[in-house]
Every structure is written in structure tokens, then in C-alpha cells.
Amino acid sequence: MGLSLSVVFSSIAGYLLGAETISVTTLILLAFGGYFMVGASNAYNQIIERDLDALMDRTKNRPIPAGRMTVNTAFVIATSFTILGLITLYIINPKTAMWGAISIFIYTSVYTPLKTKTALSVFIGALPGAIPFMMGWVAARNDFGIEPGTLFAIQFFWQFPHFWAIGWFLYEDYKKGGFFMLPTGKPDKGTAVQIIMYSIWTILASIIPVFGFTGDLKLSIVGAVLVFLLGMIMLVYAFRLFRERTAKAAKQLMLSSVFYITMLQIIYVLDKFLR
């Protein structure tokens, strides 16, 4: 539920940034369409990983491994959500539906199978994970250009410190399921360095609009300063993880990354309407 709502939030933020006139109908369709799409992805994921989910503490109480739901029922839900999501997003415009379909396909057919085979799966998983923010803009403009591309880049880079932090403090649990989530394969200094690097890339991507290179996606100096300061908070926690290399530090980084992306989207939207 939390993941689904965060996707809806990102999509709506992207829509508000791109919309020249706000349509309540489109907002509602985008919210439901986004919710259905991520719900479908999660359902397919839990069907595919049901045996592995049973091995891990964080997932063993999910409906299928816990025996509360059959695979057939889950498949009906996943298929229904896929159809409803595609129809809902197609009503907005075909390009929005296309990006929703691409997101489901990559998450289910590429990312999920790779999770037990290579740490590069995180790079693949970051692709569908970065689509919602961008998809909101496409829903507003029915076009893909530098603006939604920038929104995609921000959320793409952000996912590495976020998910590697999760992979760090849940390392032992993920190991039970045979998942490779960290870039070096273990919670060590090399992983911490990469987390710092991608945190810096995230910060740089997030302030690019202030320089006027991103078309209709603009950011005031005040907005850029606020976003930069937010990024520095996340970077401080990334360096703390590098120094301490503990599960507690990783969890603090994960929480700071959630705060960062949420506040960034709020600041972007407020900056547009208050300029």
C-alpha cells in the first residue's frame, strides 16, 4: 500500500508540474491508473517470488506464502489490475498507457527474475521505478521531451542510495532468499562509496532545472537552494553510513531518502505555482 501510494504521489506531482490547466478528471484517472499499475507489478512479483518470500522474515506473511491466497486468485487480481490500469491511463492519452505498460513489463519480466542472479538488477529496477514522476508530465502534455526526461533522471539516480540502504539493513534477510541487492554483494566500504556517488548524482540532477536547460520544467533559485539543502541532508547520512557501516545508519539513510524525494516533489510543485 505504501509503495502504491508513493507512486500515485509521484505521478500527481509530475502531472501538476506539466499541466498548463489542471483537470480534476485527469488527476483522478492518473491516481487510479498509477495505483492499478503498481498493484499489478507487485502482484506479479509476489506470484513469481512466492517460494523465496516464504524464506524471509520481511515477506513470509505475504498472502501467498502465508497461505491466505492461492496463486490463481493472485493472478486474477494481477491481470485485472493490469487491464484496468492500461484502460484508465489510455483514457488520459496513449503515451501514458504505453509508459505504464513498459513499467509493468520491465519490473515483472526483467527486474524480478534478475534479483536472484545479479546486483545489476537494481539498475534495471530503477527504470520502472523512475517512470511515475515522468509519467505524470506525459499525462499532462501527451509528449516526451527534456522535461519528463529530467524528472526521470532525478528519480532514477535517487533509487540507488534508497534501495541500497534497504539492501544494507536487510542484508541477512535478503540473503535467505538468495537476493543480490548490493553493488559489491555485501555491506562494505565499496557499497558505501557507491551510495555516496549516486547521492551526489541525485543532487546534481535535482538542481539542473534552475539553469534553464530543461524547457518548461523550471526551478527558481530559492527552490534550487531548498532542494540542494535537502540533498545535503541525505548526503550527510550517506557519509555516516560510510563511517559507521551499520544497519542503523543504513535505516537512517533510507528514511532520509524518502523524506528527500517527497519534499523535492512538493518543493518543485510549490515553486511552479508560487513563482
Q: What is the pLDDT of residues 172-209, one digit of tens each?
A: 998 888 888 899 988 999 999 999 999 999 999 999 99
Report field, pTM of the whole predicted structure over 0.95: no
Same domain, residue pair 107 and 171: no
Give the model confidence (pLDDT) of 105-136 as tens digits. 999 999 999 988 888 888 999 999 999 999 99
Domain boundary among the residues 100, 126, 144 is at: 144
Domain boundary among the residues 119, 144, 169 is at: 144
Same domain, residue pair 158 and 123: no
Same domain, residue pair 104 and 214: no
Confidence of residue 7 (pLDDT cuts 50, 70, 90): confident
Same domain, residue pair 133 and 33: yes
Same domain, residue pair 152 and 261: yes
Same domain, residue pair 103 and 153: no
Same domain, residue pair 153 and 275: yes
What pLDDT is stored for residue 224 in this prediction?
96
Look up the domain containing 213 and give its range: 145-275
Same domain, residue pair 163 and 226: yes
Give the model confidence (pLDDT) of 43-84 as tens digits. 999 999 999 989 888 889 999 999 999 999 999 999 999 999
**Count of structural domains within the chain:** 2
What span, in angstroms and rounded, lies between the C-alpha atoms of 57 and 77?
Answer: 24
Domain boundary among the residues 144, 162, 178 is at: 144
